[in-house]
Amino acid sequence: MTPTSIECPDLEVLFTELEAGEGPALEHAEQCPLCTAIIEEHRLLEKDLCRLADPLPPADLVHKVMARVAAEPTPVRRELWTGLSILGASLMMGLGLLLTSDAALSGLGKSVARTLVGGTAFTEALMSGVHALWNTAAGPLVALVAFVILSSVFGLKRLVRNGPTPSEA
């Protein structure tokens, strides 16, 4: 009769104590190669299950996405560029809105703008139009610009998320 000949505990008890971190069954397992092997197997299996349930983004995710974008699909690349240009246009629009409203508010800015564009009545009309719009609907205007920017940003995010899926990998 050797020390390890004590009967191995029920697996359910062993795993319960494994989760708790202590217990007689666990103490036995430390002395028993059979139970140690079982615990090791269980640990690996659990790790695999965790990986399946909650896949961590691999370290080379960006590389994979970029490779995918470069290698394969013109549509995806075009979508990406469309998203980027929408984002750029939105930013330009917001910036332009800010500049023009400032210009409409200050005579100096207005004259500078008039010089740049050529001093037409069109500039005048545009300025007063923007000014009026800005005065009456600054809130909705800002909201609109913010919405366009946000939606293009979210579009890009969605595009990236629609990249490699587990089933394709």
Binding site for Zn ion (CB under 5 A): 8, 32, 34-35
Q: Which is nearer to Zn ion, 13 or 153 (CB)?
A: 13
Q: Which is nearer to Zn ion, 8 or 160 (CB)?
A: 8
Please, are residues 149 and 91 in contact by the beta-carbon 8 Å criterion? yes
Please, are residues 95 and 62 in contact by the beta-carbon 8 Å criterion? no
Q: Which is nearer to Zn ion, 8 or 159 (CB)?
A: 8
| Residue nearest to Zn ion according to CB distances in the complex | 32
CB of 12 to Zn ion, least distance (A): 14
Kindly report the number of other CB atoms within 10 A of residue 72's CB atom.
10
CB proximity list for 124: less than 8 A, separation 6 or greater: 114
CB of 62 to Zn ion, least distance (A): 46
CB of 14 to Zn ion, least distance (A): 8
Q: Which is nearer to Zn ion, 37 or 143 (CB)?
A: 37
CB of 32 to Zn ion, least distance (A): 3
